C-alpha cells in the first residue's frame, strides 16, 4: 500500500489505439486514459488495479437506450477515437488533441487540463497539489480533489436547490423522497446526476466534468476551507470507481450538448405531453373517486379549459388508506376500461401512478416473494424497508424476472385498459440497510450500491412495456427520481414542492440546473404540491411561469381536500383559461425545441449565459431563462408587483412579445407586469416562432400553422426550420426532412421577404404570419398570395395562401 510520504510513480504500461494504460512502478495501482473525442477525454483511476463496477448505465454516446445489463466500461463503440499526440517529460506525460491537452504528473498521477480557445492553450482545471486521489491510504471510498479559485463558477449537478452558481455549496447525491422541501436550501433531493460545468470569470474557459457512478456521492464546491490544502473542490463517492470524463469546447453550450450526447439523446415524446396535464391526489383519494374525476371533465368543459392529459394519483390502487400498485379499487372505479375510455373520448389521456415497492400486505406480495423478485436480505428473504403506508419490499430491477413481471402487470392492469403512459413515482429506492442485496444480473452486490440504477431500470422497463404494447407510437413516461441518462426515457418534475413565493423563484433555478445537466423536459407542480393553499396572486404567477416550461401540470395535495386547479378562484378563471390558450398557441415552438433536443442535444431551457457567453451580466444570479435561444422569459416571482425589471442580454435587439416594442440589448428595462397580462416575454431580433393559430376549445382540438416573425430593423437574413409531424408516430432520422418547414427571412430597411416551404409530408394551403404590431414594412412571399393583412390581438396578422 502506498504512503502519503511516498506517492506512487506511474509509467506507460500499454497503448492500444485510444486506450492508454499506466501502472505504478511499485504498487498495484492502475490508471486508464481514453481519448474518445477531440473534446472528450476519460480518466479511470483504480487504486487496487481492478474495476469494482464493470458496467455503466450512464454512457450511451448518441444512443437512446442501453442494454438492461449495462454497457461494459471498456466498450469504446460509438466514439470517434481521434488522433492525438503523446509526449513524455522527466516527470510528465502530455496528451494532446485538437481541443484538449492533458498533462499527467507521473508522481501521484495528478492531472491538469488545458483547452484550446482561439488557437491558444488556456488552463481549465487541475488536480489539487496535495493529495488528489486516494491510493489506499484513507479508506475504501472514492476521492477526487481539484484546485479551485475565487473566480470559478460552477453550474449543473442536476436538480439542486439554491442559486444557479453552485460555488460555495456542498451537495449530496442520495436520492430521497423530500416532501415540502425548501427550494433554496434543502439537500439532498430526488435526482442523481454527477455532472457539472466550470467557468472562470477571468480567462473565460469552460469545462465539463462527469463522474460515472451510481454511488451515493458528495460534491464540495468550495464550502470547505482547509489551510493545509489551499482552495479546492472535491468529489467523494461511497463506493465504486473513480471514472470521470472531461469535456472541453469553446462554450458552455457546446459542453452541455456534448455531455447530453455522451449520456444519450433525449427522448422525442408525443406532442400531447406538452399540453396541460391535470392532477391532484384529492380526486382518487375520495371514496367517490370516479365521480370526482368526472367533475374534472365537467369543469374543463364548463370553463373551456384546454387539457391533454391527467395524472391519475395512486388512490386508484387503494385498499383502506394504503396504496397497492397494480390493484384497482373497484369500489372507486367499478369499470376501469370504461372509465379510461370516458376520459379518452373527451380528448384526455390518463397517466397512472405506479410505485416499485409492494407493502408487506399487498395482495400479490407472496407471489412476488416466492418468485424472488425483491431486493433481499443475506438469508434470501425479501428485504423490508420503510415505504409510504408502512413497510414493504422493493422490486429488484437488476433481476430480469422482476422486470418481466413489472412489464406484464403494466400491460394487463393498465395498458390493456387504455392507459396512455406511465407515471413512475416514489422510486428513490431508499434502502439504507447495508446488508440488503441486489441480484445485479447474476452477480449479487449490496443493494445500497444500486439505488439510482434501480430507478433507471424501472423507467426503462416501463418504457419497454409501452413500446411492446404499441410499437408504432412514441411512449410517454414521467418519473420523479432520476439518474444520469434519464433524458433518454422520461419527462420529470421537481417533486413535492412547497407553496411559497420562494419556491416559485427557486424552482425556476432548479429547472435551469437540470437543463444544464442534459435534462430539459421538466416542469414543476404549479401552485405548490404541499403546504398552504396558494393565494390567487401566487397561483396566477405560478401559471404564468409554468406556461413556458416543457411540462405544464397543476398538481397538489392540500389540507381540507382543496385542489389547485384552473377554476379554484372564479375571479381568476377567465385569465387562467387565456393563459393556457396562449401556451397551446406556442406548442409548435415548444415541440420543435423538443425535436432539436432529440436530434442535436440542444437544451430546451437555457440559462442566459449559454446563449450570451460574452455578456458578464448574464452570469449574475437572476430569475430569467431562455426557451430555446430566442425567447426570453422573465417571470414575476415576488408578491404585489406591477412592473418587472428585465436585463436584456447584449449583442442583439429584443422585441417585447406583448406589444411589439423593440429594445436594444445590453440594458435593464422596466416593463409592465400586472397580474392581468402575460409575463414579460422578449424575442430576439431575427427570430421565427412557430404557432398554432387555430381557435381551440376543450375537447375540440384544432391545428393551423402560423409563424410569428421578428424581423431585423435593417438588413438581416435568417434561415430556420420547424419540425411539424403528427406528434405521435415514430419518425426515422432519415425521414425527418419530410416533416420540416423551411423558413428564410430577409429584411431590408424598406421590405421583408419571406421564403416559406411547407413539409412534404404535410402540405399546407394556408399559413398565418404574425408580425409585431408596429411593423409596417410590406411582406413579400414568393409562391404565396396574401389574402388578408390586418391588425389583431396577436399583432399584424397576414394570411398567406399557396
Q: How many CB atoms within 10 Å of residue 705?
A: 20
In a domain, 504, yes or no: no
Q: How many CB atoms within 10 Å of residue 650?
A: 15
Measured distance CA(64)–CA(261) in Å, rounded: 10
Which residues are within 8 A (CB) of 708 and not within 5 positions of it... i.e. 6 or more apart? 683, 688, 689, 691, 770, 771, 794, 795
Q: Kindly state whether residues 653 and 745 are assigned to the same domain.
A: no
Chain Cα centroid distance, residue 319 = 34
Measured distance CA(745)–CA(688) in Å, rounded: 9
* Per-residue cell: 71: 454497457
CA distance to 393, 455, 712, 729, per residue, from 384 (Å): 5, 18, 64, 42
Which residues are within 8 A (CB) of 224 and not within 5 positions of it... i.e. 6 or more apart? 170, 232, 234
Per cent of the chain over pLDDT 90 is 95
Residue pLDDT, tens place only, 740-758: 999 999 999 999 999 999 9
Give residue 734's pLDDT: 80
Q: Kindly state whether residues 711 and 748 are assigned to the same domain.
A: yes
Residue 252's H or E segment, with its range, is helix 252-263
* Confidence band for 340, pLDDT divided at 50, 70 and 90: very high
In a domain, 790, yes or no: yes
Q: Kindly state whether residues 668 and 736 are assigned to the same domain.
A: no
Residue that is last in its domain, among 263, 293, 315: 263
Measured distance CA(665)–CA(650) in Å, rounded: 4
Q: What's the CATH number where 46 sits? A: 2.60.40.1760
Q: What's the mean pLDDT in 356-377?
A: 98
Place of cell 430576439: 684
Q: Kindly state whether residues 189 and 47 are assigned to the same domain.
A: yes
Phi-psi region of 137 (alpha: psi -120 to 50; beta: other; left: phi over 0): alpha
Measured distance CA(499)–CA(186) in Å, rounded: 15
Give the start-end residues of each E strand in 179-328. 191-192, 195-200, 206-211, 217-220, 232-237, 242-247, 276-279, 309-312, 318-319, 322-323
Residue pLDDT, tens place only, 550-590: 999 999 998 887 899 999 999 999 999 999 999 999 999 99
Query: By three-state DSSP, how is residue 381 classified?
Result: coil
In a domain, 567, yes or no: no
Q: Kindly state whether residues 643 and 758 are assigned to the same domain.
A: no
Residue pLDDT, tens place only, 413-450: 999 999 999 999 999 999 999 999 999 999 999 999 98
Measured distance CA(156)–CA(160) in Å, rounded: 8
In a domain, 569, yes or no: no
In a domain, 27, yes or no: yes
Q: Is the pLDDT of residue 713 over 60?
A: yes
Residue pLDDT, tens place only, 603-654: 999 999 999 999 999 999 999 999 999 999 999 999 999 999 999 999 999 9
Q: Kindly state whether residues 388 and 434 are assigned to the same domain.
A: yes
At 407, phi and psi to the nearest 5? -65, -40
Which residues are within 8 A (CB) of 463 and not within 5 positions of it... i.e. 6 or more apart? 475, 477, 489
Q: Are 496 and 180 in contact (CB under 8 A)?
A: yes
Beta bridge partners of 23: 11, 30
Residue that is last in its domain, among 684, 715, 744: 684
Q: What's the CATH number where 660 sits? A: 2.60.40.1180
Q: Kindly state whether residues 121 and 205 are assigned to the same domain.
A: yes
Residue pLDDT, tens place only, 401-417: 999 999 999 999 999 99
Long-range contacts of 407-411 (CB under 8 A, 24+ apart): 407/461, 407/462, 407/464, 407/465, 407/468, 409/325, 409/326, 410/326, 410/354, 410/462, 410/465, 410/466, 411/465, 411/468, 411/469
Measured distance CA(476)–CA(273) in Å, rounded: 7
Q: Which of 169, 249, 147, 256 is nearest to 204 (CA)?
A: 249
Measured distance CA(313)–CA(318) in Å, rounded: 10
Identify the domain containing residue 757 by its residue range.
687-801
Which residues are within 8 A (CB) of 560 and not within 5 positions of it... i.e. 6 or more apart? none
Residue 742's H or E segment, with its range, is strand 740-747
Q: Kindly state whether residues 40 and 167 are assigned to the same domain.
A: yes
Q: What's the CATH number where 716 sits? A: 2.60.40
What domain count does the chain have?
A: 4
Residue pLDDT, tens place only, 259-277: 999 999 999 999 999 999 9
Residue pLDDT, tens place only, 765-802: 999 999 999 999 999 999 999 998 999 888 999 999 98
Q: Kindly state whether residues 737 and 650 are assigned to the same domain.
A: no
In a domain, 440, yes or no: yes
Q: Kindly state whether residues 658 and 694 are assigned to the same domain.
A: no
Which residues are within 8 A (CB) of 718 and not within 5 positions of it... i.e. 6 or more apart? 686, 687, 688, 712, 743, 744, 745
Q: Kindly state whether residues 197 and 55 are assigned to the same domain.
A: yes
Measured distance CA(34)–CA(36) in Å, rounded: 6
* Per-residue cell: 572: 381568476
Q: Are 438 and 447 in contact (CB under 8 A)?
A: yes
In a domain, 680, yes or no: yes
Q: Where are the alpha helices (DSSP H) in 67-137?
A: none
DSSP assignment, residue 438?
E
DSSP assignment, residue 734?
G
State the average pLDDT for the chain: 96
Sign of CA dihedral 155, 159, 163, 164: positive
Q: Kindly state whether residues 648 and 751 are assigned to the same domain.
A: no
In a domain, 432, yes or no: yes
Residue 153's H or E segment, with its range, is strand 152-156
- Residues in the chain, total: 802
Q: Are 244 and 42 in contact (CB under 8 A)?
A: yes
Q: Cα dihedral angle (429, 433, 439, 445), rounded to 10 degrees?
A: 120
Beta strands 322-323 and 357-359 are unpaired
Give residue 4's pLDDT: 66
* Confidence band for 137, pLDDT divided at 50, 70 and 90: confident
Give residue 3's pLDDT: 63
Residue pLDDT, tens place only, 678-690: 999 999 999 999 9
* Per-residue cell: 124: 481549465
Q: What's the longest Cα–Cα distance across the chain?
A: 83
Q: Are 372 and 429 in contact (CB under 8 A)?
A: no
Residue that is last in its domain, among 455, 475, 495: 475
Measured distance CA(703)–CA(694) in Å, rounded: 5
Angle between helix 573-600 and helix 536-546 axes, rounded to 10 deg: 30
Give the DSSP letter string of 83-99.
--EEEE-SSEEEEE-SS
Chain Cα centroid distance, residue 532 = 28
Q: Is the pLDDT of residue 117 over 70?
A: yes
Measured distance CA(708)–CA(771) in Å, rounded: 6
Give residue 6's pLDDT: 82
Per cent of the chain over pLDDT 70 is 99
Give the DSSP letter string of 533-567.
PPPHHHHHHHHHHHTTSS-EEE----GGG----TT
Q: Are 731 and 739 in contact (CB under 8 A)?
A: yes
Residue pLDDT, tens place only, 7-61: 899 999 999 999 999 999 988 999 999 999 999 999 999 999 999 999 999 999 9
Which residues are within 8 A (CB) of 735 and not within 5 positions of it... i.e. 6 or more apart? 761
Query: By three-state DSSP, how is residue 370 classified?
Result: helix
Residue pLDDT, tens place only, 157-213: 999 999 999 999 999 999 999 999 999 999 999 999 999 999 999 999 999 999 999
Which residues are within 8 A (CB) of 60 and not within 5 positions of it... i.e. 6 or more apart? 66, 71, 78, 262, 263, 264, 485, 488
Measured distance CA(315)–CA(353) in Å, rounded: 9
Phi-psi region of 125 (alpha: psi -120 to 50; beta: other; left: phi over 0): beta
Amino acid at each position: 500500500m502506498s504512503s502519503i510520504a511516498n506517492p506512487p510513480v506511474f509509467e506507460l504500461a500499454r497503448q492500444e489505439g485510444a486506450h492508454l494504460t499506466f501502472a505504478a512502478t511499485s504498487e498495484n495501482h492502475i490508471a486508464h486514459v481514453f481519448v474518445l473525442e477531440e473534446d472528450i477525454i476519460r480518466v479511470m483511476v483504480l487504486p487496487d488495479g481492478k474495476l469494482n463496477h464493470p458496467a455503466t448505465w450512464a454512457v450511451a454516446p448518441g444512443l437512446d437506450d442501453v442494454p438492461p445489463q449495462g454497457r461494459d466500461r471498456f466498450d469504446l463503440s460509438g466514439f470517434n477515437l481521434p488522433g492525438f499526440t503523446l509526449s513524455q517529460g522527466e516527470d510528465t506525460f502530455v496528451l494532446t488533441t485538437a481541443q484538449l491537452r492533458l498533462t499527467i504528473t507521473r508522481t501521484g498521477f495528478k492531472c491538469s487540463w488545458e483547452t484550446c480557445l482561439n488557437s491558444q492553450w488556456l488552463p481549465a482545471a487541475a488536480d489539487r497539489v496535495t493529495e488528489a486521489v486516494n491510493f489506499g491510504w484513507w479508506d475504501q471510498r472514492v476521492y477526487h480533489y481539484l484546485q479551485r479559485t475565487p473566480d470559478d463558477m460552477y453550474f449543473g449537478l442536476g436538480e439542486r436547490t439554491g442559486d444557479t452558481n453552485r460555488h460555495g455549496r456542498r451537495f449530496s447525491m442520495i436520492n430521497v423522497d423530500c416532501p415540502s422541501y425548501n427550494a433554496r436550501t434543502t439537500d439532498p433531493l430526488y435526482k442523481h446526476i454527477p455532472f457539472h460545468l466550470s467557468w472562470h470569470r477571468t480567462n473565460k474557459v469552460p469545462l465539463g466534468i462527469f463522474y460515472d457512478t451510481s454511488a451515493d456521492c458528495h460534491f464540495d464546491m468550495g464550502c470547505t476551507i482547509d489551510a493545509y490544502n489551499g482552495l479546492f473542490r472535491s468529489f467523494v463517492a461511497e463506493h465504486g470507481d473513480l471514472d470521470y470524463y472531461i469535456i472541453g469546447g469553446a462554450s458552455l453550450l457546446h459542453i452541455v450538448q456534448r455531455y447530453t450526447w455522451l449520456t444519450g439523446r433525449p427522448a422525442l415524446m408525443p406532442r400531447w405531453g406538452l399540453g396541460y396535464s391535470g392532477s391532484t391526489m384529492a380526486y382518487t383519494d375520495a371514496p367517490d373517486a370516479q365521480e370526482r374525476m368526472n367533475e374534472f371533465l365537467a369543469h374543463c368543459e364548463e370553463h373551456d379549459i384546454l387539457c391533454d392529459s391527467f395524472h391519475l394519483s395512486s388512490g386508484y390502487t387503494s385498499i383502506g388508506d394504503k396504496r397497492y400498485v397494480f390493484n384497482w379499487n373497484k369500489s372507486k372505479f367499478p369499470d376501469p376500461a370504461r372509465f379510461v375510455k370516458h376520459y379518452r373520448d373527451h380528448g384526455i389521456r390518463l397517466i397512472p401512478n405506479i410505485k416499485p415497492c409492494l407493502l408487506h400486505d399487498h395482495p400479490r406480495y407472496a407471489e412476488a416473494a416466492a418468485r424472488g423478485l425483491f431486493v433481499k436480505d443475506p438469508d434470501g428473504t425479501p428485504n423490508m424497508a420503510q415505504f409510504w403506508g408502512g413497510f414493504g419490499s422493493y422490486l429488484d430491477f437488476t433481476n430480469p424476472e422482476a422486470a418481466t413481471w413489472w412489464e406484464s402487470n403494466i400491460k394487463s392492469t393498465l395498458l390493456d385498459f387504455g392507459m396512455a403512459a406511465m407515471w413512475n413515482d416514489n422510486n428513490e429506492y431508499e434502502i439504507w440497510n447495508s446488508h440488503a442485496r441486489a441480484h445485479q444480473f447474476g452477480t449479487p452486490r449490496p443493494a445500497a450500491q444500486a439505488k439510482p440504477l434501480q430507478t433507471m431500470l424501472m423507467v426503462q422497463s416501463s418504457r419497454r412495456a409501452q413500446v411492446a404494447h404499441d410499437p408504432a407510437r412514441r411512449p410517454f413516461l414521467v418519473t420523479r427520481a432520476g439518474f444520469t441518462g434519464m433524458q433518454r426515457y422520461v419527462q420529470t418534475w421537481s417533486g413535492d414542492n412547497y407553496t411559497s413565493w420562494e419556491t416559485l423563484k427557486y424552482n425556476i433555478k432548479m429547472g435551469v440546473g437540470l437543463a444544464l445537466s442534459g435534462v430539459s423536459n421538466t416542469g414543476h407542480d404549479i401552485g405548490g404540491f404541499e403546504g398552504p393553499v396558494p393565494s390567487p396572486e401566487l397561483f396566477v404567477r405560478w401559471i404564468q411561469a409554468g406556461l413556458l416550461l416543457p411540462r405544464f401540470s397543476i398538481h397538489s395535495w392540500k389540507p381540507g381536500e382543496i385542489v389547485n386547479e384552473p377554476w379554484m378562484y372564479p375571479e381568476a378563471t377567465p385569465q387562467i383559461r387565456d393563459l393556457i390558450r396562449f401556451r397551446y398557441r406556442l406548442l409548435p415552438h415548444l415541440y420543435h425545441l423538443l425535436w432539436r433536443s432529440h436530434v442535436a442535444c440542444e437544451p430546451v431551457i437555457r440559462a442566459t449565459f449559454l446563449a450570451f457567453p460574452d455578456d458578464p451580466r448574464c452570469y449574475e444570479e437572476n430569475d430569467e431563462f431562455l426557451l430555446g435561444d430566442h425567447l426570453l422569459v422573465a417571470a414575476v416571482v415576488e408578491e404585489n408587483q406591477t412592473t418587472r425589471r428585465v436585463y436584456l442580454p447584449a449583442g442583439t435587439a429584443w422585441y417585447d412579445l406583448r406589444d411589439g416594442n423593440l429594445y436594444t440589448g445590453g440594458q435593464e428595462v422596466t416593463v409592465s407586469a400586472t397580474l392581468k397580462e402575460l409575463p414579460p416575454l422578449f424575442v430576439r431580433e431575427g427570430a421565427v416562432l412557430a404557432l398554432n393559430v387555430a381557435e381551440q376549445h376543450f375537447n375540440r382540438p384544432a391545428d393551423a400553422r402560423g409563424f410569428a416573425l421578428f424581423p431585423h430593423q435593417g438588413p438581416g437574413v435568417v434561415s430556420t426550420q420547424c419540425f411539424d409531424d403528427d406528434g405521435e408516430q415514430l419518425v426515422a432520422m432519415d425521414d425527418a426532412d419530410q416533416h420540416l418547414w423551411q423558413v428564410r427571412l430577409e429584411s431590408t430597411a424598406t421590405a421583408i421577404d419571406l421564403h416559406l416551404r411547407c413539409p412534404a409530408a404535410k402540405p399546407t394551403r394556408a399559413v398565418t404570419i404574425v408580425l409585431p404590431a408596429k411593423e409596417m414594412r410590406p411582406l413579400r412571399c414568393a409562391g404565396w398570395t396574401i389574402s388578408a393583412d390586418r391588425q389583431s390581438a396577436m399583432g399584424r396578422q397576414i394570411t398567406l395562401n399557396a
